[in-house]
Amino acid sequence: MPRQDAPSPNGLTYADSGVDIDAGDKAAQLILRHLRRTQGQRVIPNPGGFAGLFRLDYNEQLFKRNYKDPVLVACTDGVGTKVKLAAQLDIHDTVGIDLVAMSVNDMLVQGAEPLLFLDYIGVHNVDPTHIERIVKGVADGCEQAGCALLGGETAEMPAVYAPGDYDLAGFAIGVVELARAIDPLRVEPGDIVLALASSGVHSNGYSLVRKIVKSKRLKLDKTYPELDEQKTLGKVLLEPTRIYARSIVSLQRAYKVKKVISGMAHITGGGLAANLARALPPKTDAVLQRTWAVPPVFTFLQERGAIDPAEMDRVFNMGVGYCLIVRPTFADSIASKLRKHGETVWTIGKIVRGRGRIRWSP
């Protein structure tokens, strides 16, 4: 007589519902090396743990980092429908960089230094190699940002995601000394607006990008002379979001006493005007000039899609990925320091008295 607690040979299994536990375990093993290469001395080993451990203060002399009045800064974001292009092209090792960039660049605006990052990957079914490629990109982004990839979650949900589809979400934690936190009320008339170049479309506006590609029957595997003769349209559109962490953190460390940065803005959905306006106090305006170089990808999209210039400005970064509002006497030295860190920098405007608006100068 069979045991009453033994599984029936005809009983359903988790795999029958579309979830493969073994594949998930294999994926977890494959991504471990990518996590480890981002983790420095402040990460506490925790084999088998249910959460990651990170030391805020660290007293060992070589890596010493202590805070007097620390404030934790937290961000979360995704990559949007850029993952649809990644899936269509079967290129998955760049959207992870985008994922890190979207959260980390946001926290920089508050004056924070990125510390750690967590990711969430939702998929139809777990393909360990596919998951590893995504996480490789996340680890690459964490290395660029100088933060630790501390952990994450892969959710296999065939009832939610269609075959081949997946989604990404990222969660970043940083720290800033309270006395050094960015306060937008510090922005005042006379301050200068500096712009840092984007690497391309970044991670906003991809529903419109995909609409243009589909409606105009553009070929993602084709090169276009208006763009890059060495890169297909697909690779141009998948260019990862630039991460500004090392440049901005290094800049702030160069001015340990003087508060030379009045405000900052990460240029994402809504474009330059909407995001820079968030950094303005109610009694100031920013008067801007189009002194920067617009990357060819935006001209290409605008012309192929017959998009109104105002709509382009509202949807895309148009070549400016990040802005700083700085004291006028330090503007040149700040721009020079940023260029030494590899940034392309333009002076694009000035702060004047106003009502919290963006104005354009001819």
Lowest mean pLDDT among 20-29, 86-95, 236-245, 334-343: 20-29
Decide if 7 is inside a domain: no
Does residue 190 sit in the same domain as residue 152? no
Does residue 231 sit in the same domain as residue 292? yes
Decide if 63 is inside a domain: yes
CATH number at residue 327: 3.90.650.10
CATH number at residue 129: 3.30.1330.10
**pLDDT grade for 1, boundaries at 50, 70 and 90:** very low
| pLDDT above 90: residue 47 | no
Show which of 161, 180, 199 is a domain's final residue: 180
Show which of 152, 180, 208 is a domain's final residue: 180
Does residue 241 sit in the same domain as residue 339? yes
Decide if 70 is inside a domain: yes
Average pLDDT over residues 212-228: 94
| pLDDT above 60: residue 85 | yes
Percent of the chain scored above 70 by pLDDT?
A: 95
Lowest mean pLDDT among 64-68, 176-180, 320-324: 64-68
Decide if 35 is inside a domain: yes
* 134 vs 34: CA distance, rounded Å: 10
Does residue 206 sit in the same domain as residue 306? yes
Residue 75: the pLDDT is 96
CB 201 within 8 A of CB 131: no
Does residue 195 sit in the same domain as residue 321? yes
Domain count, the chain: 2
Residue 16: the pLDDT is 63
Average pLDDT over residues 254-260: 89
Residue 5: the pLDDT is 47
Pick the residue with more confidence: 76 or 28? 76
Decide if 202 is inside a domain: yes
Other CB atoms closer than 10 Å to residue 214's CB: what's the count?
Answer: 9
Residue 33: the pLDDT is 85
The per-residue pLDDT of the chain, averaged, comes to: 91
| pLDDT above 60: residue 341 | yes
Does residue 57 sit in the same domain as residue 139? yes
Average pLDDT over residues 308-313: 96
Average pLDDT over residues 183-188: 90
Pick the residue with more confidence: 230 or 338? 338
H/E segment holding residue 272: helix 271-277
Does residue 23 sit in the same domain as residue 94? yes
Q: What are phi and psi of 332, to 5 degrees?
A: -65, -40
Does residue 228 sit in the same domain as residue 349? yes
Lowest mean pLDDT among 16-30, 59-73, 150-164, 228-242: 16-30
CB 356 within 8 A of CB 280: yes
| pLDDT above 70: residue 117 | yes
Decide if 296 is inside a domain: yes
CB 59 within 8 A of CB 66: yes
Please identify which residue in the block is written with the tokens 């006497």.
Answer: 329
Does residue 193 sit in the same domain as residue 339? yes
Decide if 4 is inside a domain: no
Pick the residue with more confidence: 40 or 202? 202
Does residue 356 sit in the same domain as residue 292? yes
Residue 13: the pLDDT is 67
Does residue 230 sit in the same domain as residue 114? no
Residue 210: the pLDDT is 97
Show which of 180, 197, 220 is a domain's final residue: 180
Residues 6+ apart with CB under 8 A from 91: 234, 235, 238
Average pLDDT over residues 13-42: 77
Residue 56: the pLDDT is 87
Instruction: Look at residues 173, 300, 131, 307 and name the one whose alpha carbon lies nearest to residue 228.
Output: 300
Average pLDDT over residues 158-170: 94
Does residue 254 sit in the same domain as residue 163? no
Residues 6+ apart with CB under 8 A from 357: 277, 280, 285, 286
Global pTM? 0.91
Domain carrying residue 336: 184-360
